[in-house]
Amino acid sequence: MDYYGSSIGRLIESLSSLPGIGKKSAQRLAFHIAAMPEEQVKAIADSLVEARSNVHFCKHCCTLTDGDICPICQSSKRNHRQIMVVENSRDLAAYEKTGRYDGVYHVLHGAISPMTGVGPNDIKLKELLMRLQDEDGEASADEIIIATNSSVEGESTAMYIVKLVKTLELPIKVTRIATGVPVGGDIENIDEVTLERALKGRTEL
Amino acid sequence: MDYYGSSIGRLIESLSSLPGIGKKSAQRLAFHIAAMPEEQVKAIADSLVEARSNVHFCKHCCTLTDGDICPICQSSKRNHRQIMVVENSRDLAAYEKTGRYDGVYHVLHGAISPMTGVGPNDIKLKELLMRLQDEDGEASADEIIIATNSSVEGESTAMYIVKLVKTLELPIKVTRIATGVPVGGDIENIDEVTLERALKGRTEL
């Protein structure tokens, strides 16, 4: 790749190390960046370094955030006794966008997956259990809503959490978000497992 | 978006200002970056700033490169009397990858497009004309191969270059890369204009 000169080559290489950016997009981005106003490039570079050094796991819900505790866990408007368990911070963001959930979250940062060697200790499960009990051994939550993905890993993780919470013997309800036909979904194009689950989960009108 | 905390929010914003990176990919990238090893993030940030400050237009062919003159224009193995005119440095890279071209290039950095307000003076046409004549008024090239895109803008630019070069009244051949059916292309799925051009440009076997 010495037809670009080494700076562009290095930039292409470092950009294509990011997820979802292939050789072609990295090349397009690199040439775009090389022609951008210098301050703008500096601003992007700074925001990268800044995000990496400022961002930590929230001490309560483990989402990625500035400082010790995330804005949601700090908010007095949220119901802190209702905890939605999600696989990652992007799933949290997706639920926040609905604007219809006023509880708090717990971010696992993964799902149990024996195939890829991710066990219960590799995700933030210990931190979840710690949150469910106060110092006096009383339940510090009323409900845990499991919103892991509807994949094999997500489902196993959900089952595992149910078992874990049951062992605490506390009056905490554990629920799972519904599986079914997505809004706007065309029945004829939806897989059988989803259709079966949608039938099983039917509700009275 | 204050559910992320401000550092992640700023990073998402700055990433989504880049071409081809939408809100969703920016979000995925940002969370990935926030969880990456610190040195790796610094390296990416440095390569951004470094590329922007080191990279200039090559004094001969106008491609983006480190230093004054690009490796291709410096090379004694290339035929400096054959100049391929391309729209941008990515097109140069595409032809270099074929390994079948040993002339040099001229990068226009755009194509004439009255619709978007790009005129002949907005692309590196003046620089091309300057390259074609030496101090004594003699031709300093034998052939110009026009390899602009096969789009309306690319074609108009090609026609414009032909006219410009003709006004110099020098013995320089001007050629255009062939339009036709791409290798592996399925005739039934190819548009009529391409098919018509492929027919017109047929060669004897």
Please provide the size of chain A in residues.
Answer: 205
Tokens of A178: 């519904």
* Residue type at position B172: I
User: A23: distance to nearest CA of chain B, Å?
Assistant: 12
Tokens of B53: 């400050």
3-state helix vs strand vs coil in chain A, percent to 5:
45, 15, 40
Q: Which residues contact A74 (CB under 8 A, 6 or more apart)?
A: none
Task: Give me the phi and psi of B152, to 5 degrees please.
Answer: -55, -45
Quote the radius of gyration of chain B (alpha carbons, Å): 22
CB pairs A-B closer than 8 Å: 174
User: B70: distance to nearest CA of chain A, Å?
Assistant: 7
Sign of CA dihedral B185, B191, B197, B200: positive
∠ CA A37-A41-A44, nearest 5°, is 140
User: B150: distance to nearest CA of chain A, Å?
Assistant: 19
Q: What pLDDT shows up at residue B191?
A: 82
pLDDT in tens, B63-113: 998 888 999 999 999 999 999 999 998 889 888 888 888 999 999 999 999
Residue A155: other Cβ atoms inside 10 A = 17
Task: Compute the distance between CA of residue A5 and CA of residue B56 in angstroms, rounded to an integer.
Answer: 10
Cβ pair B60, B72 in contact under 8 A: no
ipTM: 0.71
Helix (H, G, I), strand (E, B) or coil at A175: strand
Answering whether pTM is above 0.90, one says no
CB pair distance less than 8 Å for B45 and A43: no
CB pair distance less than 8 Å for A7 and B51: yes
Confidence of residue B2 (pLDDT cuts 50, 70, 90): low
CA B163 from centre of chain: 21
Task: Compute the distance between CA of residue A101 and CA of residue A38 in angstroms, rounded to an integer.
Answer: 42
Task: Give me the phi and psi of B115, to 5 degrees please.
Answer: -60, -40
Residues of B in contact with A86 (CB under 8 A): none
Q: What pLDDT shows up at residue A2?
A: 63
Residues of A in contact with B103 (CB under 8 A): none
Which residue from A minimizes the CA distance to B45?
A45
Nearest to A51 among B19, B20, B33 (CB): B33
Tokens of A26: 């990295």
Q: Which of A171, A108, A100 is CA-nearest to residue A141?
A: A171
**Alpha helical stretches, state H, A75-151:** 89-98, 125-131
pLDDT in tens, B141-168: 999 999 998 888 999 999 999 999 999 9
Q: Which of A17, A169, A164 is CA-nearest to residue B45?
A: A17
Task: Compute the distance between CA of residue A98 and CA of residue A101 in angstroms, rounded to an integer.
Answer: 7
Nearest to B71 among A3, A18, A33 (CB): A3
CB pair distance less than 8 Å for A93 and B3: yes
Mean pLDDT over residues B24-46, rounded? Answer: 91
Which residue from A minimizes the CA distance to B2?
A71
CB pair distance less than 8 Å for A89 and B4: yes
Residues of B in contact with A20 (CB under 8 A): 25, 28-29
Task: Compute the distance between CA of residue B117 and CA of residue B108 in angstroms, rounded to an integer.
Answer: 16
